């Protein structure tokens, strides 16, 4: 069984204190709900601590896990919204309220394929440099740059269409 | 119709607001992670088929002592007690804030001093400043000008709390800076000394016999301060200082006593300066002549650091202060005149990453044309020997140097913040919107999070980093 020593705990607690507020804030902006943000951030830390001794870059691991959990949340809430619409013909509105300035871009980011969404969130939102994003996702830096360019082009095009 | 490019850029440029963990989150996460490790171990040892049958028995019996002990995390997310690791400078930053002196140390400052900030853990901190920016706060008859504000959300929100009943710095009276060791024990100083042991509900003035407190730091269970004999007037309370003595007291009481010999400043119209640095085990006093005293954090007397018998190749030994091997060690540069709050202007000392007493020192030259030479020296042995580590960018005037727990150097200058991850050999300018006039202070609370104070108090804000100093964002201070 993996050992979790006192020094590991101290380091983990220090990382938690240092990273949790920003990670949870990052997630909140993506899911627009404090409770869900806490759930996702706590789950990311749980997975991190469960694999603590085998990780070289805990912070990167945290954000990759959180990105995947956010994706799962979006998929789940998307299914729920579709189900609600199906049973309630009168309800034509999105039952989840979002800040107006965020909802369009966020909805469009949700629609990006995983291949583009992951590097987009890690680079543009979490603030990791391209080199780190490439390492996190196991892709060449050139591929990450191309993915980011493609993601931005798609978002701009979609934003343009939505405003016409 | 809005411009799509602008909307995307606007969305991306919005800064993330931190979301603090509910109380007990770390403990809950630790427990869940432990269960998962246990399950994984059971799976590996007995196979998945047996898991459901044995888990209920095995899991409660597997105890990981480290998860059941350790430091407590308060509801605000701050840690209490002594630093966890002696070679880390401090996960609990009590941040000194020097003030730049555009008009020179002996000049009469027209603007009030910069804000002073202190943090206990990553979430809870205080900022002290003056309510008035018109220079009316340095009068003894205006005791309400000092404003103390507190955050429990890493700067996301601030509220006004009870300040010490003092005015701004004016010669021998007033206060300008703040430090807290715990949410209860705090001090306001510069030049007078006030203490609270109930979180600021009440403050008591500590008599200093006419000496001015020009520096104060706290760590572990002890507080240290430099009591100086000075004749500076107005807000330049820390100028024209000639004698410096370290005093210390247990943090929970007000039992101040001398903790080392008195150092004297050399000849000079503006007098000298001295600064304090506390690492996990040691209190250092940087004296006006480039001398270095050290002592344990217990409050025992500080003694001159002795030069190593054999100076390694490349170690610096300044010609003006050279001493025979084995004698008192001297820094590569003297402290120079004081900045407005007493911090040296020519020698900026910071804790390094080396276990057992790593120190870093920035020696600065005169500022001219917006340029200033900045040479970094490193000592692996608590100041016994020094080697030249590199040059910081010449642009701008250096105000403060600090080190993160893992040794990243953060330098506050009149232009912004420079960061070095290799001990000063190379530097990168931090990103983010920088305030005019740069920063008077920048320090790291953890390897990721830090706080900086603009040189211009009219900004009414402090800056935070959450990515190790690479980028900084503004946090308005208003309660």
Q: Say what the pLDDT of residue B40 is.
A: 63
Confidence of residue B292 (pLDDT cuts 50, 70, 90): very high
Bridge partners of B372, per DSSP, are none
**What is this structure's pTM?**
0.59
Confidence of residue B456 (pLDDT cuts 50, 70, 90): confident
Residue ranges of domains in chain A, CATH in brackets: 1-97 (1.10.1740), 98-164 (1.10.10.10)
CB B429 within 8 A of CB B378: no
Say if B470 is an interface residue toward chain A (CB within 8 Å): yes
Q: What is the largest CA-CA distance in chain B?
A: 83
Confidence of residue B439 (pLDDT cuts 50, 70, 90): very high
Q: Provide the 3-class DSSP secondary structure of residue A46.
A: helix
User: Cβ contacts (< 8 Å) between B122 and chain A: which residues?
Assistant: 17-18, 21
Confidence of residue B207 (pLDDT cuts 50, 70, 90): very high
Task: Choose the closest CB to A105 out of B11, B19, B65.
Answer: B11
- Return d(Cα B205, Cα B17) in angstroms, integer: 37
In chain B, where the domains are located: 116-476
Task: Over range A54-67, report the average pLDDT.
Answer: 77
Mutate to test the interface with B, among A3, A9, A117 (most CBs of B within 10 A): A9
Confidence of residue B229 (pLDDT cuts 50, 70, 90): very high
Task: Over range B458-475, report the average pLDDT.
Answer: 89
Residues 6+ apart with CB under 8 A from B235: B108, B109, B112, B113, B138, B168, B169, B170, B176, B340
Question: What is the percentage of chain B residues whose pLDDT exceeds 90?
Answer: 39
Question: In whole numbers, what is the pLDDT of chain B averaged over residues?
Answer: 77
CA-CA-CA-CA dihedral for B408, B412, B413, B418, to nearest 10: 30
- Return d(Cα B327, Cα B304) in angstroms, integer: 9
Confidence of residue B354 (pLDDT cuts 50, 70, 90): low
Q: Say what the pLDDT of residue B138 is.
A: 57
Reply yes or no on whether the pLDDT at B384 is more than 50: yes
User: Cβ contacts (< 8 Å) between A37 and chain B: which residues?
Assistant: 19
Q: Say what the pLDDT of residue A71 is.
A: 82
CB contact under 8 A, B70 and A10: yes
Q: How far apart are the CA of A86 and the nearest CA of chain B, in angstroms?
A: 32
Q: Which of A124-138, B82-96, B386-400 has the lowest mean pLDDT?
A: B82-96
Q: Say what the pLDDT of residue B299 is.
A: 77
Reply yes or no on whether the pLDDT at A55 is more than 80: no
Top-ranked range on mean pLDDT: pick from B65-69, B308-312, B370-374: B370-374
CB contact under 8 A, B470 and A127: yes
Q: Say what the pLDDT of residue B132 is.
A: 55
| 294-323 in chain B: CB under 8 A from chain A | none
Reply yes or no on whether the pLDDT at B100 is more than 50: no
Q: How far apart are the CA of B71 and the nearest CA of chain A, in angstroms?
A: 8
DSSP state of A125: I
CA A158 to chain CA centroid, Å, is 20
Q: Provide the 3-class DSSP secondary structure of residue B403.
A: strand
Q: Provide the 3-class DSSP secondary structure of residue B454.
A: strand
User: Cβ contacts (< 8 Å) between B17 and chain A: which residues?
Assistant: 25, 28
Say if B406 is an interface residue toward chain A (CB within 8 Å): no
User: Cβ contacts (< 8 Å) between A41 and chain B: which residues?
Assistant: 19, 21
Tell me which chain B residue has its CA closest to the CA of residue A162.
Answer: B4
Mutate to test the interface with B, among A3, A13, A55 (most CBs of B within 10 A): A13
CB B260 within 8 A of CB B301: yes
Task: Choose the closest CB to B29 out of A7, A27, A46.
Answer: A46
User: Cβ contacts (< 8 Å) between B64 and chain A: which residues?
Assistant: 4
Neighbours of A103 (CB within 10 A): 14
Q: Say what the pLDDT of residue B309 is.
A: 54
- Return d(Cα A161, Cα B75) in angstroms, integer: 47
User: Cβ contacts (< 8 Å) between A7 and chain B: which residues?
Assistant: 85
Mutate to test the interface with A, among B1, B2, B7, B65 (most CBs of A within 10 A): B7
Neighbours of A111 (CB within 10 A): 13
Edge-to-edge strands, sheet with B292-296: B275-278, B282-286, B292-296, B303-304
Confidence of residue B325 (pLDDT cuts 50, 70, 90): low
Say if A8 is an interface residue toward chain B (CB within 8 Å): yes
Q: Which of B241-255, B375-389, B455-469 has the lowest mean pLDDT?
A: B455-469
Question: In whole numbers, what is the pLDDT of chain A averaged over residues?
Answer: 75
CB contact under 8 A, B29 and A104: no
Sign of CA dihedral B119, B95, B107, B373: negative
- Return d(Cα B13, Cα B478) in angstroms, integer: 23
- Helix, strand, coil distribution of chain A in percent, nearest 5: 80, 0, 20
Q: Say what the pLDDT of residue B152 is.
A: 87
Task: Over range B309-328, report the average pLDDT.
Answer: 46
User: Cβ contacts (< 8 Å) between B157 and chain A: which residues?
Assistant: none
SS (H, E, C) A78-115: HHHHHHHHHHCCCCCCCCCCCCHHHHHHHHHHHHCCHH
Confidence of residue A1 (pLDDT cuts 50, 70, 90): very low
Reply yes or no on whether the pLDDT at B84 is more than 70: no
CB contact under 8 A, B19 and A24: yes
Bridge partners of B148, per DSSP, are B128, B161
Q: Provide the 3-class DSSP secondary structure of residue A138.
A: coil
Residues 6+ apart with CB under 8 A from B137: B112, B130, B131, B145, B146, B167, B168
Q: Say what the pLDDT of residue B268 is.
A: 60
Task: Over range B383-394, report the average pLDDT.
Answer: 94
B469: nearest Cα among B415, B403, B413, B414: B403
Bridge partners of B475, per DSSP, are B462
Which helix (H) or strand (E) covers residue A36, if one does? helix A34-50
Confidence of residue B356 (pLDDT cuts 50, 70, 90): low
- Return d(Cα B220, Cα B39) in angstroms, integer: 39
Say if A53 is an interface residue toward chain B (CB within 8 Å): no
Confidence of residue B57 (pLDDT cuts 50, 70, 90): very low
Tell me which chain A residue has its CA closest to the CA of residue B76.
Answer: A17
Reply yes or no on whether the pLDDT at B54 is more than 70: no
Sign of CA dihedral B262, B265, B266, B269: negative
Tell me which chain B residue has its CA closest to the CA of residue A151.
Answer: B8
Q: Provide the 3-class DSSP secondary structure of residue B458.
A: helix
CA B417 to chain CA centroid, Å, is 15
Q: How far apart are the CA of A18 and the nearest CA of chain B, in angstroms?
A: 6
Q: Say what the pLDDT of residue B144 is.
A: 55
CB B243 within 8 A of CB B220: no
- Return d(Cα B233, Cα B214) in angstroms, integer: 14
Give me the total of CB pairs closer than 8 Å, taking one residue from chain A and one from chain B: 155
Helices assigned H by DSSP within B326-385: none
Q: Say what the pLDDT of residue B245 is.
A: 93
| Burial of A113 (C-beta count, 10 Å sphere; 0-12/13-18/19+) | exposed
CB contact under 8 A, A50 and B4: no
Task: Choose the closest CB to B37 out of A2, A9, A41.
Answer: A2
- What topology is assigned to B116-476 in CATH? Methylamine Dehydrogenase; Chain H (2.130.10)
User: Cβ contacts (< 8 Å) between B62 and chain A: which residues?
Assistant: 1
Q: Say what the pLDDT of residue B97 is.
A: 38
Kindly report, residue by residue over B130-170, the tens digit of the pLDDT: 875 445 555 555 555 788 999 888 888 888 899 998 888 88
User: Cβ contacts (< 8 Å) between A116 and chain B: which residues?
Assistant: none
User: Cβ contacts (< 8 Å) between A104 and chain B: which residues?
Assistant: 7
Kindly report, residue by residue over A69-116, the tens digit of the pLDDT: 888 888 777 665 555 555 444 334 333 333 334 556 777 787 888 888
The tokens describing B119, both together, are 């943090």
Reply yes or no on whether the pLDDT at B318 is more than 70: no
Tell me which chain B residue has its CA closest to the CA of residue A163.
Answer: B1
Say if A131 is an interface residue toward chain B (CB within 8 Å): no
Reply yes or no on whether the pLDDT at B191 is more than 60: yes
Tell me which chain A residue has its CA closest to the CA of residue B20.
Answer: A21
Q: Say what the pLDDT of residue A129 is.
A: 85
CB B318 within 8 A of CB B307: no
Task: Over range B402-429, report the average pLDDT.
Answer: 94
Tell me which chain A residue has its CA closest to the CA of residue B44.
Answer: A1
- Alpha-carbon separation of residue B458 from A64, B6, B114, B397, B432 (angstroms): 40, 30, 8, 20, 19
Q: Say what the pLDDT of residue B323 is.
A: 42
Confidence of residue B442 (pLDDT cuts 50, 70, 90): very high
Say if B49 is an interface residue toward chain A (CB within 8 Å): no
- Return d(Cα B12, Cα A155) in angstroms, integer: 12
Q: Which of A133-137, B194-198, B215-219, B424-428 has the lowest mean pLDDT?
A: A133-137
């Amino acid at each position: 069984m993996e050992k979790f020593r006192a020094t590991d705990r101290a380091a983990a607690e220090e990382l938690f204190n240092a990273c949790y507020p920003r990670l949870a804030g990052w997630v909140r902006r993506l899911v627009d709900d404090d409770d869900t943000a806490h759930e996702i951030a706590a789950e990311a830390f749980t997975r991190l601590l469960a694999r603590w001794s085998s990780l070289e870059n805990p912070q990167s691991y945290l954000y990759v896990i959180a990105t995947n959990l956010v994706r799962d949340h979006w998929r789940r809430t998307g299914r729920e919204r579709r189900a609600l619409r199906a049973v309630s013909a009168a309800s034509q509105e999105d039952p989840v309220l979002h800040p107006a300035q965020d909802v369009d871009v966020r909805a469009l980011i949700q629609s990006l394929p995983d291949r583009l969404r992951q590097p987009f969130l890690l680079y543009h939102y979490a603030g990791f440099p391209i080199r780190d994003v490439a390492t996190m996702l196991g892709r060449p830096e050139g591929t990450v740059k191309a993915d980011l360019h493609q993601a931005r082009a798609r978002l701009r095009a979609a934003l343009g269409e939505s405003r016409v | 119709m809005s411009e799509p490019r602008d909307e995307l850029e606007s969305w991306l440029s919005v800064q993330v607001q931190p979301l603090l963990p509910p109380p007990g989150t770390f403990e809950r996460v630790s427990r869940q992670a432990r269960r998962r490790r246990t399950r994984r171990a059971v799976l590996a040892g007995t196979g998945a088929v047996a898991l459901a049958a044995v888990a209920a028995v095995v899991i409660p019996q597997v105890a990981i002592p480290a998860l059941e002990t350790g430091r407590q995390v308060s509801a605000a997310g701050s840690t209490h007690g002594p630093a966890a690791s002696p070679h880390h400078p401090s996960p609990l930053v009590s941040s000194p804030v020097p003030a730049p002196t555009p008009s020179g140390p002996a000049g009469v400052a027209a603007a009030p001093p910069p804000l002073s900030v202190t943090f206990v853990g990553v979430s809870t901190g205080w900022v002290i400043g003056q309510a008035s920016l018109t220079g009316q706060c340095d009068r003894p008859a205006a005791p309400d000008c000092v404003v103390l504000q507190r955050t429990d959300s890493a700067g996301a929100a601030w509220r006004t709390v009870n300040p010490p009943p003092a005015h701004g710095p004016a010669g021998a009276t007033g206060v300008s800076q703040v430090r807290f060791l715990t949410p209860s024990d705090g001090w306001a100083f510069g030049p007078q000394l006030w203490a609270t042991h109930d979180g600021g509900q009440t403050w008591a003035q500590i008599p200093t016999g006419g000496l001015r407190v020009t520096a104060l730091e706290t760590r572990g269970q002890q507080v240290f301060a430099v009591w100086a004999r000075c004749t500076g007037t107005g807000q330049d309370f820390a100028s024209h200082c000639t004698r410096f003595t370290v005093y210390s007291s247990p943090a929970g009481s007000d039992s101040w006593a001398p903790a080392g010999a008195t150092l004297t400043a050399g000849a000079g119209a503006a007098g000298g300066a001295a600064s304090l640095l506390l690492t996990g085990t040691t209190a250092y006093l940087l004296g006006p002549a480039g001398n270095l005293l050290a002592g344990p954090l217990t409050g025992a007397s500080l003694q001159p650091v002795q030069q190593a018998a054999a100076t390694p190749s490349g170690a610096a030994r300044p010609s003006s202060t050279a001493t025979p091997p084995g004698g008192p060690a001297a820094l590569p540069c003297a402290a120079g005149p004081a900045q407005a709050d007493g911090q040296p202007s020519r020698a900026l000392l910071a804790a390094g990453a080396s276990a057992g007493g790593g120190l870093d020192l920035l020696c600065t030259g005169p500022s001219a044309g917006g340029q200033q030479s900045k040479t970094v020296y490193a000592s692996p042995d608590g100041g016994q020997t020094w080697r030249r580590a590199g040059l910081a960018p010449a642009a701008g005037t250096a105000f403060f140097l600090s080190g993160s727990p893992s040794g990243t150097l953060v330098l506050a200058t009149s232009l912004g913040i420079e960061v070095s991850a290799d001990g000063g050999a190379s530097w990168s300018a931090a990103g983010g919107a920088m305030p005019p006039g740069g920063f008077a202070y920048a320090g790291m609370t953890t390897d990721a999070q830090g706080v900086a104070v603009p040189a211009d108090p009219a900004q009414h804000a402090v800056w935070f980093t959450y990515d190790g100093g690479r980028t900084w964002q503004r946090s308005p201070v208003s309660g």
